[in-house]
């Protein structure tokens, strides 16, 4: 009984710290970017988008570095299934979701293509260095496309929605403090 208690507590504490530190990382990163006059749209798309995925990225990276590639791949796929199926599903149960952004409607087919490409690359049960570079290139291209599309389409509702989601403004020193604390706790909690 005691042997199960310690790992269970470690998982719960690690999960709570991952959530807290990701939130502080996004707060610090978005405000640090603001203090350097980086566009709020870019802050929202890049920092908030990547920042909310930081726990999954760190857990997957740590697992891969320790040779547990199955956990790494399972975490990446499982978190996407959870985000799309569970999170959107539960949200829609309580509050119907209406997509007004043309940008999001264009991103949905791209998401499907990326999922199919990932599936194809995993058919041989091996992701090579080149596969990793290819997937990273797809992500960078998608981020670039999203930013370009959002800037060029002035009537889209997405930029304002992103601005509404950015954390409150804090001082530059406070932002850097939360950025550093967030990333340190994020890395530490991903190892629990």
Q: How many structural domains does the chain have? A: 1
Look at residues 65, 49, 26, 81 and name the one whose alpha carbon lies nearest to residue 190. Answer: 65
Rounded to two decimals, the pTM is 0.64
Amino acid 162: pLDDT: 59
Report whether 30 contacts 167 (CB < 8 A): yes
Amino acid 2: pLDDT: 66
Helices 172-190 & 2-35, crossing angle to 10 degrees?
Answer: 150
Helices 172-190 & 54-65, crossing angle to 10 degrees?
Answer: 40
Report whether 175 contacts 25 (CB < 8 A): no
Amino acid 130: pLDDT: 94
Domain span at 115:
1-190
| Mean pLDDT per 10-residue segment, the chain (192 residues) | 80 85 82 78 70 76 85 85 83 80 73 89 89 91 79 63 68 86 81 67
Name the one residue in this structure whose structure tokens are 């599903």.
89
Amino acid 120: pLDDT: 94
* Start-end of H helices in 36-101: 40-42, 49-51, 54-65, 69-81, 88-94
């Amino acid at each position: 009984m005691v042997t199960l208690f310690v790992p269970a507590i470690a998982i719960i504490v690690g999960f709570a710290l991952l959530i807290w530190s990701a939130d502080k990382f996004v707060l610090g990163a978005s405000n640090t970017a603001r203090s350097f006059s980086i566009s709020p749209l870019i802050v929202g798309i890049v920092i908030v988008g990547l920042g909310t995925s930081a726990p999954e990225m760190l857990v997957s990276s740590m697992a891969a570095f320790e040779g547990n590639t199955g956990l790494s791949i399972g975490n990446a796929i499982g978190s996407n299934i959870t985000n799309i199926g569970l999170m959107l599903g539960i949200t829609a149960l309580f509050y119907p979701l209406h997509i007004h952004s043309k940008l999001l409607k264009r991103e949905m087919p791209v998401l499907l293509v990326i999922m199919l490409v990932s599936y194809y690359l995993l058919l041989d049960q091996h992701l090579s260095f080149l596969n990793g570079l290819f997937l990273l290139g797809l992500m960078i291209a998608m981020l670039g496309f999203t930013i370009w599309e959002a800037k060029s389409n002035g009537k889209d509702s997405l930029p304002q929605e992103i601005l509404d989601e950015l954390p409150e403004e804090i001082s530059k020193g406070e932002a850097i403090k939360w950025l550093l604390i967030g990333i340190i706790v994020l890395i530490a909690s991903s190892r629990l």
